[in-house]
Amino acid sequence: MTVEVSGKASRALRDRFREALDADDYAGVRILSANLRNCTDILPRAVCLSLGLPRGSTYAIAARTIVAS
């Protein structure tokens, strides 16, 4: 698994994160969150809503929110 240091994450990594959220795979979400903690890509609106995040939030914000919870 590729760890993103900063910037953009691969589409495959972002897709796996969203799929894990959809499947309620909390262990998978937490693992993937570690790899997305610096990702500046914008989350889809539906994902922002499901996580209670403002529209336009990044994967990094989601990842940090998940790890902190």
Band the pLDDT of 5: cuts 50, 70, 90.
Answer: low
Three-state secondary structure readout of 37-60: CCECCECCHHHHHHHCCCCCCEHH
Q: What is the pLDDT of residue 6?
A: 62
Q: What is the pLDDT of residue 7?
A: 83
Q: Is the pLDDT confidence value at 1 over 50?
A: no
Q: What is the pLDDT of residue 3?
A: 45
Residue given tokens 């998940």 in the structure block: 66
Q: What is the pLDDT of residues 6-64, one digit of tens each?
A: 688 999 999 999 999 999 999 999 999 999 999 999 999 999 999 999 999 999 999 99
